[in-house]
């Protein structure tokens, strides 16, 4: 009777040794039972992986420390808001027009690329699936993601700037072209992760595909979509090459994106770093620090949003 309780049929007793195993001392489960060879291999692997992490992190840390030490001297609130001195030789703030330009141009690019990219991704994942058009779009967006940003700038230069002249909007177009493939591929990846269960549950309740996408799939994927889009924004905010042909690099603030040349932080870094004046070079470092902080801010926002809206 008692044996039938203590020895359930589904779980055979460990077959180590003979029937006397009941009185045998339990095998140790402490680290000493691990062989020397295995411990050596373990330590070596740990050290190697640690070194690799260090090697990867050092340049990053170096860039960060260097930019902060060089740009920290000029960075303050006035630097963010004051206009750029007429004379590059003169020390002092600021980079206001460039900060405004970066925010406006990147914002406009985001307004164009994000809705378009999300719609394209919804088409690819929800409607297109394996059809030829979807395959073609996927292929093209991969190619587009690989196009160097300077080529994208040249492209907008020929199709837009030659006809309508330089403007903040032309720069936004170039940045949007760079962002679009990133938004498409990251959003499509996130949409693919939404479980089929959820779509089926919604469909089984009588929801149309469009309704299912809007009320179930996109809300479920929102954290991932948001962080993907913000990464694309961060990438665009730092681009220089496509802006040089499209917005020009003026000093004055130009809040009108559709008329006249404009400026941005990245463009100002490019220009000022080449000037022979220490004051201008310092402003370039300050602009670099501003840009890094801006991207950092966006990344943190992306993290918070993904954490906040993930329902578990």
Partner 1 sequence: MSDTQTTLLNTPNTAPEVRNPAELPADAGEPVFEVSDLDFFYGSFRALRDVNLGIGRRRVTALIGPSGCGKSTFLRCLNRMNDLIPGTRVDGRIAYHGQDLYGQGVDPIEVRRQIGMVFQKPNPFPKSIYDNVAFGPKVNGLKPKSMDDLVEESLRRAALWDEVKDKLKQSAFSLSGGQQQRLCIARAIAVRPDVILMDEPCSALDPIATIRIEELMVELKQDYTIVIVTHNMQQAARVSDVTAFFTAEVDDAGHRTGVLVEADATSALFTSPKDQRTDDYITGRFG
Q: In this complex, which beta carbon is closest to partner 1, that of residue 42 or of residue 209?
A: 209
Using the Cα atoms of residue 270, residue 273, residue 277 and residue 280 in order, give the sign of their dihedral.
positive
> Does the footprint of partner 1 cover residue 312 (CB under 8 A)?
yes
Query: In the bound complex, what is the minimum distance in angstroms from residue 307's beta carbon to partner 1?
Result: 14
> Does the footprint of partner 1 cover residue 279 (CB under 8 A)?
no
By CB under 8 A, which span of 22-30, 75-83, 205-213, 287-295 interacts with partner 1? 205-213
Query: In the bound complex, what is the minimum distance in angstroms from residue 165's beta carbon to partner 1?
Result: 49
Q: In this complex, which beta carbon is closest to partner 1, that of residue 148 or of residue 195?
A: 195
Q: For residues 213-242, which are near partner 1 according to CB under 8 A?
A: 215-216, 219-220
- DSSP letter string over 91-154? -----HHHHHHHHHHHHHHHHHHHHHHHHHHHIIIIIITTSHHHHHHHHHHHHHHHS-HHHHHH
State CA 45 to chain mean position distance.
30
By CB under 8 A, which span of 42-50, 58-66, 83-91, 194-202 interacts with partner 1? 194-202
The alpha-helical segments, DSSP class H, found in the chain are 2-6, 36-71, 77-81, 96-122, 132-146, 149-156, 162-164, 168-193, 196-204, 209-212, 218-237, 241-244, 265-274, 278-309
By CB under 8 A, which span of 154-162, 182-190, 209-217, 253-261 interacts with partner 1? 209-217
> Does the footprint of partner 1 cover residue 208 (CB under 8 A)?
yes
Of these, 68, 103, 144, 198, which contacts partner 1 (CB under 8 A)? 198
By CB under 8 A, which span of 136-144, 204-212, 247-255, 261-269 interacts with partner 1? 204-212
> Does the footprint of partner 1 cover residue 88 (CB under 8 A)?
no
Q: For residues 103-142, which are near partner 1 according to CB under 8 A?
A: 129-130
- CB-facing half-sphere around the CA of 286: CA atoms within 13 A: 26
| Secondary structure class of 277 (helix, strand, coil) | coil
Whether 220 contacts 55, CB under 8 Å: no
What distance in Å separates the CA atoms of residue 201 and residue 219, rounded to the nearest whole number?
15
Query: In the bound complex, what is the minimum distance in angstroms from residue 214's beta carbon to partner 1?
Result: 10
Q: In this complex, which beta carbon is closest to partner 1, that of residue 101 or of residue 223?
A: 223
> Does the footprint of partner 1 cover residue 210 (CB under 8 A)?
no
On the 0-12 / 13-18 / 19+ scale of CB atoms within 10 A, 132 is: exposed
Query: In the bound complex, what is the minimum distance in angstroms from residue 9's beta carbon to partner 1?
Result: 16
């Amino acid at each position: 009777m008692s044996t039938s309780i203590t020895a359930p049929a589904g779980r055979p007793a460990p077959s180590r040794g003979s029937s006397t195993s009941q009185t045998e001392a339990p095998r140790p489960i402490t680290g000493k039972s691990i062989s020397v060879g295995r411990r050596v291999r373990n330590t070596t692997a740990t050290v190697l992986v640690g070194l690799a992490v260090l090697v990867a992190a050092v340049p990053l840390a170096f860039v960060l420390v260097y930019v902060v030490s060089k740009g920290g001297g000029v960075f303050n609130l006035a630097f963010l808001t004051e206009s750029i001195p007429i004379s590059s030789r003169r020390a002092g703030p600021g980079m206001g027009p460039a900060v405004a330009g970066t925010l406006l141009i990147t914002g406009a690019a985001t307004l164009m690329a994000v809705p378009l990219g999300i719609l394209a991704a919804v088409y690819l994942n929800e409607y297109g699936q394996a059809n030829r058009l979807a395959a073609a779009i996927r292929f093209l967006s991969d190619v587009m993601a690989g196009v160097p940003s300077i080529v994208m700038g040249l492209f907008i230069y020929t199709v837009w700037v030659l006809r309508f002249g330089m403007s903040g909007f032309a720069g936004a177009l170039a940045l949007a072209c760079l962002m679009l493939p990133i938004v498409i591929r990251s959003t499509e990846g996130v949409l693919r992760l939404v479980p089929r269960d959820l779509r089926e549950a919604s469909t089984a309740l009588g929801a149309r595909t469009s309704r299912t996408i809007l009320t179930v799939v996109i809300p479920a994927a929102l954290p991932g979509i948001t962080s993907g889009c913000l990464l694309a924004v961060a990438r665009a905010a730092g681009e220089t090459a496509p802006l040089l042909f499209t917005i020009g690099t003026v000093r004055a603030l130009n809040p009108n994106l559709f008329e006249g040349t404009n400026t941005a932080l990245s463009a100002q870094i490019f220009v000022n770093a080449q000037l022979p004046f220490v004051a201008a070079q310092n402003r370039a470092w300050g602009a670099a620090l501003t840009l890094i902080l801006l991207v950092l801010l966006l990344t943190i926002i992306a993290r918070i949003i993904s954490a906040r809206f993930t329902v578990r």
